[in-house]
Amino acid sequence: MKNHHGKPTKNSGLKSVMRAVASMVVALAAVSLTHCASQSKSSATSATDKAESKTWAKGMRGMAESLQRLMPYVFSRDEFNDPNNRAAIHDRIANFAAGVAEVPKHAGEAMLGKDPLVQFSIARLTSNAHHAQQAFDEGHLEFSRTVLRESMGLCFSCHSSQQFGPQDNFSTSSLSPNFRIYPTERADYYVATRQFDKAVDLLEGVLKSPAQLLDDPHEQVDSLRKYLSLEVRVKNDPNRAAGLLEKFLSQKDLPYFIAADAEVWLKSLRDWQREKPSTTSALVRAQALTRKARNLQATGGYQSGYVDFLRVTSILHEGLRSAASLKDKSHYYEMLGQSYDTLSEMGTWDLPEVYFEACIRASPKSEESKRCYREFERAIVLGFSGSAGVFIPKEERERMNDLKALAGFSVSNDFAPAEKSPEKH
């Protein structure tokens, strides 16, 4: 379901479950922010952190292997619902849940910095595995399958966020090339197991096949967005992406709404190709790209800034790894929330709220926290709006009031909108 802004609402059962996970993750992360800020950079290379990194890699590999055995069932409705497969699927879901549980939640931060995305992703995968197992055991097979498929999109969002970690070192023997799933779903699978080259090659093949375009334009658009996410944030390669977009735009009978966005994205890639190396800070570079992206949105539509916002998130995720002060972290969180609000079509619906909440908790009663609360409140209200009006669950209203007070606004009654705070310059 989508609200009147054309963005997905949060009224589905699956998304409602995940919101509680997001709230818990940010609250837990905030507890350790002060401690993290006082640590020296040398601690990131300590023997303990190196050991945790190895444990993290081992845990992620175990989770990927269990996911590999489960996926052929998840992507086939018939196989998943076949009574003859019930015991095998039950065991594979249980193994996947066990694999997620073995991933050390704090070890990833030793490598990636204090980025809420790390704990958010692990906690959400943990919740997904639990609810998938429970739904499957209770006979709600389609809900279970949907939750597991959602996990693949989550893996894509996290693994494609920056250029860090191993690549192309997993087998795909259990997912036959002849297995019938959407190309974007197969790409999700490849990215979930960090096989980025295979994902890029697969998506390029889809985008070079004009016969498929009018049959399923949604699949083409999804393929294009995922392809750009990988080329921009993982491969950091505007040249290959621009070359592919040129060929894509040369196709006949390309729907106007697809061509219009693709032309703007190609221009952003061309601008990137002409850029000279910069010595300015990550925050300054991200701010400049954000202004450019917003100008594109003002003249060309909401998705016009897609490529530039992808670059912004890549820069900010990288910058967070070395950000020292809570004030700097608050700035990073605020900008990541704003960027992921535009990138929500990637399946990151809850991430803006995660970062806005982290911003508030990192720098309470500051101007940054006030701006972040207003963005957080807007996301919640619009997310729970629909044709029947606005219904915000009690726990969400309580969470809003808590964060409103933490940001420095007065809370005189249940869910009162925040007064206007100064705009950021």
Domain boundaries, the chain: 32-159, 181-275
Q: Can you tell me the mean pLDDT for 387-394?
A: 80
Tokens of 208: 């070079």
Lowest mean pLDDT among 11-20, 116-125, 228-237, 270-279: 11-20
Which residues are CB-neighbours of 393 under 8 A, at least 6 positions away? 16, 384
Contact indicator for 399, 23 with CB cutoff of 8 Å: yes
| Confidence category of residue 38, pLDDT binned at 50, 70, 90 | very low
| Confidence category of residue 377, pLDDT binned at 50, 70, 90 | very high
Q: What is the DSSP letter of 115?
A: -
For 128-170, the three-class secondary structure string (H helix, E strand, C coil) is HHHHHHHHHHCCCHHHHHHHHHHHHHHHHHHHCCCCCCCCCCC
**Coil, strand or helix at 417:** coil
State yes or no: pLDDT of 30 exceeds 60. no
| Confidence category of residue 10, pLDDT binned at 50, 70, 90 | very low
CATH class (in words) of the domain with range 32-159: mainly alpha
Which residues are CB-neighbours of 375 under 8 A, at least 6 positions away? 334, 337, 338, 341, 352, 356
In 3D space, the residue among 386, 384, 362 whose CA is nearest the CA of residue 372 turns out to be 362
Reduced DSSP (H G I as helix, E B as strand, rest coil) percent helix, strand, coil of the chain, to 5: 70, 0, 25
Q: Can you tell me the mean pLDDT for 19-38?
A: 38
Answer with the residue of higher pLDDT: 64 or 259.
259
Spatial separation of the C-alpha atoms in residues 317 and 158, rounded to whole Å: 11
Which residues share a beta bridge with 389?
386
Lowest mean pLDDT among 318-332, 352-366, 398-412: 318-332
Tokens of 295: 């100008």
Q: Can you tell me the mean pLDDT for 128-151?
A: 87
Count of CA atoms in the C-beta half-sphere (13 A) of 268 = 29
Spatial separation of the C-alpha atoms in residues 196 and 166, rounded to whole Å: 10
pLDDT of amino acid 256: 87
pLDDT of amino acid 66: 75
State yes or no: pLDDT of 13 exceeds 50. no
Q: Can you tell me the mean pLDDT for 96-118?
A: 67
Spatial separation of the C-alpha atoms in residues 111 and 31, rounded to whole Å: 19
pLDDT of amino acid 108: 55
pLDDT of amino acid 339: 92
Residue 57 vs residues 37, 187, 347, 377: alpha-carbon distances, Å: 25, 21, 25, 37
Spatial separation of the C-alpha atoms in residues 89 and 71, rounded to whole Å: 10
pLDDT of amino acid 99: 78
Lowest mean pLDDT among 174-183, 360-369, 402-411: 174-183
State yes or no: pLDDT of 260 exceeds 80. yes
Q: What is the DSSP letter of 114?
A: S
Residue 210 vs residues 230, 249, 250, 252: alpha-carbon distances, Å: 21, 10, 10, 8
| Confidence category of residue 180, pLDDT binned at 50, 70, 90 | low
Query: In this prediction, what percent of the chain has a pLDDT beyond 90?
Result: 32
pLDDT tens per residue across span 182-221:
788 788 778 777 788 988 999 998 888 765 555 677 888 8
Q: Can you tell me the mean pLDDT for 283-288?
A: 94
State yes or no: pLDDT of 37 exceeds 50. no
Q: Can you tell me the mean pLDDT for 390-418?
A: 82
Lowest mean pLDDT among 24-38, 58-72, 356-370: 24-38
CA-angle at 196, arms to 195 and 199, nearest 5°: 95
By CB atoms closer than 10 A (0-12, 13-18, 19+), residue 311 is buried
Q: What is the mean pLDDT of the chain?
A: 77
